[in-house]
Amino acid sequence: MGTDTFRQENASLLVLAAISLALITILSVWKLKQFKYRLVNETGGAMFYGMLLGVAVRYLQFDGAQGIKNHTCTCTDLNATPPFVMVNISSQGHWSSPLDSTSQMGTFNLDVLFNVFLPPIIFYGAYTLDQKRFIANLGSVLTFAFFGTLISCLCIGVCMYGFTRLMVLLGQAADGDYVLIDCLLFGAITSATDPVSILGLLSDLRVDLDLHTLLFGESVLNDAVAIVLTHAIATYDRKGTGHAFDPSAFLHSVGSFLGILIGSFCMGFIFTIITALLTKFTRLRESPLLETSVVLLLSWSSFLSAEASGLSGIVAVLFCGLSQARYTILNLSAEGRSRTKQLFEVFSFLGEIFIYSYMGYILLTFPPHVFKALFISGAILTVFISRACNIYPLSFLLNLGRTNKITCSFQHFMVFAGLRGAVAFSLAVRDTETEAKQTILTTTLLLAGFTIWLLGAAADPLLHALDIRMGEDSEEDSKDFSSEVSMRGPDTARGLWHNLDHKYLKPMLTHCGPPLTELLPQWCGVFARIFSPTHVQEDEEQFCEMELHTSPLNLDKSEPPPTPDDSGSEPHDDLLEGDLGLGTSPVNTMETSVNTS
């Protein structure tokens, strides 16, 4: 009992330290913001305090650490109860022994961090994305996220390979320490720009909304690509025959890339379908508490199911968030919607602080850090180069198709705003077996610190210098949209997505849109009747009409509803895509929009 109590007290102390860190971060960053000091946001602050704790632990080596070391549990204990939730004790296995030797103060278990705190951040980011603008810019966002990340990965990989050759030439590394695949892995890892810090930056600065959507949408989706790409490269690394190119391993990793991306996407979407049908066909709306709980549990399940089936949980929860905000939200009650948003907001806010504190902490306490000056300076340089190789050519190509061009100043700012953060860190920390991989972790952490602090602080002056309009009012902007729409009239070309979304998914998953019985062919009659039962439809019609005209997440904002004759049943109100969402056509305000506030 004595040792038990002792261990429990120590565990409590560890969590207390984490909580105190979070409180200090919250209060000091908030105080700084009050003084209109915008250079530091929560992510930077949390990382800073994490580093302070790291310094304290490293140089004071206080008793707690020793205490834990002397009281580690026996293996039987662990056998007995498979630890809850977060339980992958696996990944840190790689760096367990080095950590052992210096400091035991883990403060957070890595997997708690990634399995509990990261999913709500990603979910909240996706859930609160401005859907209207996101869909309007879908083509561009997808181009940047997919091709941009591939370009970025290759570019960083090749450049860094050059730097490692230089290191060999200068005698700073042995030949063979850093192979091309390591450099590509580093490229994939650092291609993930960070939605958390970018969101923090953008919401503090209130930049142009299209730029906001492009940057944030890209950062959210390129995480998915970077995660899967990293996995694919790791797969190639394991399967491959070393330095020579191995076509079968390459094919395998390409297959794994596509398989995981598509599989995770489907997994996220399946859980949205379950949630949407559950909230559509039951009267859960009567209890906001139940609604919120069900949405929370099912969204979390999307993450867990993906992890359990060997897919990427983060990618699944990302698509789950995107689709929940598009369909499920329409079935929720007003209170349920605001509760769900607020719940995820708190989770996301605290998760962000915990993760970045931990990043700062680990930067100073991770024992096998490998600081290679040339690698680090090369990485910082390369990150800018790769970002330029990604943004400028793709913007040029996209501008060929866009009527609403991505201006040069937008492009400059996008190159600049490639902050790195939690996802890159989570990818780097998963494997630290070789020296090359330890170098990658160290460099990734420094890169995150550098981009978050320096670029974050420089963003405000840069926006002024580039003359990008700030502090824009979203309401005013949406009026612009509707006037443009009335001038243009409905476009005749309709994309695949639009058809699928408006003709099938919306009517099936929500009470909005035309009844399925009208849309589906005769032989689908039974199916159509099941998914649009008339007794529910009648009750909900008014609610759904109302939903269509107001932004589901901004409940306090009361826009005057447009005339009823041009809403709802006409399927041309969402995406007028002559350009497959490249950003050409302004979108209609009648559509449900989700404003990131």
Locate 568 and state its tokens: 């709802």
Answer for the pair 28, 45: CB distance below 8 angstroms, yes or no: yes
Under the binding rule (CB under 8 A), the answer on residue 69 touching its own copies is yes
- Smallest gap from Cβ 400 to its own copies, in A, equals 42
Interface segment toward its own copies; rule CB under 8 A; list 23-31, 125-133, 192-200, 529-537: 23-31
For its own copies, the closer of residues 383 and 445 by Cβ is: 445
Structure tokens at 94: 């790689």
438 binds its own copies (CB under 8 A): no
Residue 310 touching its own copies (CB under 8 A)? yes
Q: Is 305 in the site for its own copies (CB under 8 A)?
A: yes
Q: According to CB under 8 A, which residues from 384 to 423 bind its own copies?
A: none
Residue 269: phi, psi to the nearest 5?
A: -70, -35
Length of the chain: 597
Q: How far is the CB of 109 from its own copies (least distance, A)?
A: 4
Which of 155-163, 254-262, 281-289, 586-594 is the region at the interface with its own copies (rule: CB under 8 A)? 281-289
CB of 588 to its own copies, least distance (A): 31
Of residues 36, 63, 77, 496, which one binds its own copies by CB under 8 A?
Answer: 77
* Binding-site member from 168, 180, 273, 278 for its own copies (CB under 8 A): 278
Distance of CA 348 to the CA centre of its chain: 11
Task: Restricting to residues 326-355, name those near its own copies by CB under 8 A.
Answer: 339, 342-343, 345-346, 349-350
Q: Which is nearer to its own copies, 238 or 488 (CB)?
A: 238
Scan residues 236-275 and list those touching its own copies (CB under 8 A).
238
CB-based contacts of 213, cutoff 8 Å, min separation 6? 129, 130, 133, 134, 136, 137, 141
Our finding on whether 182 is near its own copies (CB under 8 A) is no
Between residues 201 and 284, which has the closer beta carbon with respect to its own copies?
284
308 touches its own copies (CB under 8 A): yes
Please answer whether residues 126 and 272 qualify as being in contact, where contact means their C-beta atoms are separated by less than 8 angstroms: no
Q: Which is nearer to its own copies, 159 or 267 (CB)?
A: 267
Q: Tell me how far apart the alpha carbons of residues 291 and 276 are, in angstroms, rounded to a whole number.
A: 11
Measured from the CB atom, the residue of 87 and 251 that comes closer to its own copies is 87
Q: In this structure, which amino acid lies at residue 483?
A: S
Longest dimension (CA), the chain: 78
Q: Does 563 bind its own copies (CB under 8 A)?
A: no
Measure the CA–CA gap between 385 and 596, rounded to whole angstroms: 30
555 contributes a contact to its own copies by CB under 8 A: no
Beta bridge partners of 193: 420
Residue 516 to residue 531: CA distance in whole angstroms: 7
Kindly state whether residue 78 participates in binding its own copies, applying the rule CB under 8 A.
yes
How large is the C-alpha radius of gyration of the chain?
A: 25
Of the candidates 536, 590, 541, 592, which has an alpha carbon nearest to the alpha carbon of residue 565? 590
Site size toward its own copies, by CB under 8 A: 92
> Which residue, chain included where needed, has tokens 């994309």?
495
Q: How far apart are CA 151 and CA 219, in angstroms?
A: 15
Stretch that binds its own copies, among 15-23, 205-213, 370-378, 476-484 (CB under 8 A): 15-23
For residue 313, the minimal CB distance to its own copies (Å) is 8
Q: Which two tokens stand for residue 118?
A: 């990261």
- Per CB under 8 A, the segment of 91-99, 212-220, 393-401, 482-490 that binds its own copies is 91-99
Site string for its own copies, 445-484 (x = CB under 8 A): ----------------------------------------
Which is closer to its own copies, CB of 21 or CB of 214? 21
What are the residues whose beta carbons fall under 8 Å from the beta carbon of 341, sequence distance 6 or more?
127, 128, 553
Q: Does 535 bind its own copies (CB under 8 A)?
A: no
Beta bridge partners of 420: 193
Q: Which of 32, 52, 56, 89 binds its own copies (CB under 8 A)?
A: 89
Task: Say how far apart CA 425 and CA 448 lie, in whole Å.
Answer: 8
Please report, in angstroms and rounded to a whole number, the separation of the first and last CA atoms in the chain: 51
Which residue carries 């300076």 as its tokens?
A: 377
Site for its own copies in 95-114 (CB under 8 A): 95-97, 99-100, 104-113
> Is residue 539 involved in binding its own copies (CB under 8 A)?
no
In the structure encoding, which two tokens stand for residue 32, read together? 């700084």
Q: Which of 14, 121, 201, 207 binds its own copies (CB under 8 A)?
A: 14
> Which two structure tokens, joined as six digits, stand for 259?
């398989």
Q: Minimum Å distance from CB 307 to its own copies?
A: 4
